[in-house]
Amino acid sequence: MKSIAAIILAAGKGTRMKSKLVKVMHPLAGAPLIEYPLSAAREASATQIVVVIGHQAEAVRDHFSGCGDISFALQEQQNGTGHAVACAAPLLQGFNGNVLILCGDVPLTKAETLRDLLQHHEERQATVTVLTASLENPFGYGRIIKNNAGEVTAIVEEKDATPEQRAINEINSGIYCVAAEFLFSAVSRLGSDNAQGEQYLTDIIRMAVEQDLSCAAHQIADPLEVMGINDRVQLAAAEAVLRQRINESQMLAGVTLRDPATTYLDRGTLIGRDTVIGPNVHISGQSEIGEDCLIEPGAIIRGCRIGNRVVVKAGSVLENSIVHDAVSIGPMAHLRPGTELLDEVKIGNFVETKKVIMGKGSKASHLTYLGDASVGSDVNIGCGTITCNYDGVSKHRTVIEDGVFVGSDVQFVAPVTIGNNSLIAAGTTVTEDVPPGSLAIGRCRQVNKEGWRKK
Ligand code: UD1
Ligand code: CA
């Protein structure tokens, strides 16, 4: 096969999104819209990718910074799809393989569809192959005009079409495979004598036909694959399709989803075998979950790395945290960013952690706030413990060493260090370091006034 490059058209604003954000950067199952055609192109072996940017060019460029296979062509004014490709041409100078042309706002095209398109293009020895679909309602799309031999002879836009042409159901998806040399010479010669006064990429078909070069159509069965996103209704429809695809691939890979219809997994989420996910669970931000875990209903997990045999109980929220093996969390616990829980840690209900490392086997079973702390192994944190980490100006650390037993209702006024195997009596406000092996008790002595009620 010839080498493959891709041009992704993404200069348009997306007015119908009614958004401050350029259309192709709108998130869809955890990745901006434009990532979908881009990764489909990569999976179809495109080795060079040019993204044509215009509106909010910097936002798009920044998102892909550091991707060596992507370059950017700036199209300052959106003079049409043909003009957009012409803007990309200088970046592919000397390339003489096949060019895939994709739209940044068409997210559901599968890589295998692009591979079929490329294969069809080579088999037919075509100069241009258009990906087409047959739509019950083709309104708005360019129509595919064919001769008796089934070769494509033109694409006519809705606004330029005769009533006869408008009756054609086969539409232009806006996705093509084109021989590079022909493409770049053709787009350099495009006019704009049409209803929209734009340089139409679709005019390259007529130009190829004039040069006796062959143009083919490759029709796909599922029109969803070429659905473009113009507004937020279509964005939600595409998200539903993607979510179903993601969930099905997780299930086929050995993950139990008790209710796929309410399971929200981002693209790129990794989940190990025999993990069970309950209803209404949301997992996002490139999270990784190991094997044999149980994620109970209503859990929200963002940007976390979770080991094996972990239980996340109902209603817990985990953000940017690392959880090792056999940890139990929740119900209704909140791990905030920078939490790391080593093996067999137990975090119970209404416990909040932030920038905390907890050693093996340690427990905070109820109603606790641990922030900016390092907790050793086999530590018991009693109910109602609070690290007072903030003095109104800066944050301070609490260090609790191995084997410490913290009674209920204890406050640690940081910075403070609790030596190993010490015991903090219930109700103590700790303001000074505690040496290893000691008892720290800091509370008022109880006074009983007998007979007081009767008086
Ligand atoms: C185009 C096709 C039409 C096809 C339809 C499929 C032409 C002339 N028409 O329609 O046959 O049925 O796609 O959706 O090509 N873009 C730029 N720069 C521009 C113009 C567009 O980058 O100057 C980008 C847009 O951001 C978008 C894509 O190209 O991602 C398609 O543009 P759009 O305006 O939606 O396509 P149409 O011209 O309506
Ligand atoms: Ca247009």
Please check the confidence at residue 1 and state whether its pLDDT lies above 90. Answer: no
pLDDT at 148: 95
439: β partners:
423
With a 6 Å cutoff on the Cβ, whether 37 touches ligand 1 is no
With a 6 Å cutoff on the Cβ, whether 200 touches ligand 1 is yes
Q: For 6-35, give one letter per residue: b (16+ CB within 10 A) or e.
A: bbbbbbbebeebeeeebbbbbebbbbbbbb
Report how far ligand 2's centroid is from the alpha carbon of 24 (Å): 15
Report how far ligand 1's centroid is from the alpha carbon of 80 (Å): 7
- Residue whose CA is closest, atom 8 of ligand 1? 200
pLDDT at 274: 98
Percent of the chain with pLDDT over 70: 100
Report how far ligand 2's centroid is from the alpha carbon of 346 (Å): 57
Its sign, for the CA torsion 127, 54, 267, 290, is positive
Instruction: State the DSSP code for 88.
Output: H
- The overall average pLDDT reported for the chain is 97
| Ligand having the closest approach to the CA of 155 | 1
Please check the confidence at residue 236 and state whether its pLDDT lies above 90. Answer: yes
Report how far ligand 2's centroid is from the alpha carbon of 78 (Å): 9
With a 6 Å cutoff on the Cβ, whether 201 touches ligand 1 is yes
pLDDT at 380: 98
The average pLDDT across 34-43 equals: 98
- Residue whose CA is closest, atom 17 of ligand 1? 11
Which of 63, 120, 282, 366 is labelled catalytic? Answer: 366
> Would residue 366 show up in a list of annotated catalytic residues for this protein?
yes
With a 6 Å cutoff on the Cβ, whether 80 touches ligand 1 is yes
- Give the residue from 157, 156, 255, 153 showing the smallest Cα distance to 208: 153
| Ligand having the closest approach to the CA of 187 | 1
CB 261 within 8 A of CB 278: no
The average pLDDT across 103-116 equals: 98
The average pLDDT across 164-184 equals: 98
The beta strand positions in 272-323, using DSSP E, are 276-277, 282-284, 288-289, 294-295, 300-302, 305-306, 311-312, 317-319, 322-323
Instruction: State the DSSP code for 445.
Output: P
Please report the DSSP string for 312-359 in residue order: E-TT-EEES-EE-TT-EE-SS-EE-TT-EE-TT-EEEEEEEEEEEEE-
pLDDT at 317: 99
pLDDT at 455: 87
Pocket test for ligand 1, best of 21, 55, 74, 81 (most atoms within 8 A of CB): 81
With a 6 Å cutoff on the Cβ, whether 83 touches ligand 1 is yes
With a 6 Å cutoff on the Cβ, whether 84 touches ligand 1 is yes
- Residue whose CA is closest, atom 5 of ligand 1? 174
The average pLDDT across 79-106 equals: 97
Instruction: State the DSSP code for 1.
Output: -
Please check the confidence at residue 447 and state whether its pLDDT lies above 90. Answer: yes
Atom of ligand 1 nearest to the CA of 203: 8
Atom of ligand 1 nearest to the CA of 9: 22
Instruction: Label residue 24 by pLDDT band (50, 70, 90).
Output: very high
Report how far ligand 1's centroid is from the alpha carbon of 81 (Å): 5
pLDDT in tens, 286-336: 999 999 999 999 999 999 999 999 999 999 999 999 999 999 999 999 999
Q: How many Å apart are CA 322 and CA 312, to the nearest integer?
A: 13
Atom of ligand 1 nearest to the CA of 171: 12
Instruction: Label residue 19 by pLDDT band (50, 70, 90).
Output: very high
Q: Which domains does the chain have, with CATH numbers?
A: 4-226 (3.90.550.10), 232-440 (2.160.10.10)
| Ligand having the closest approach to the CA of 199 | 1
Percent of the chain with pLDDT over 90: 99
pLDDT in tens, 247-284: 999 999 999 999 999 999 999 999 999 999 999 999 99
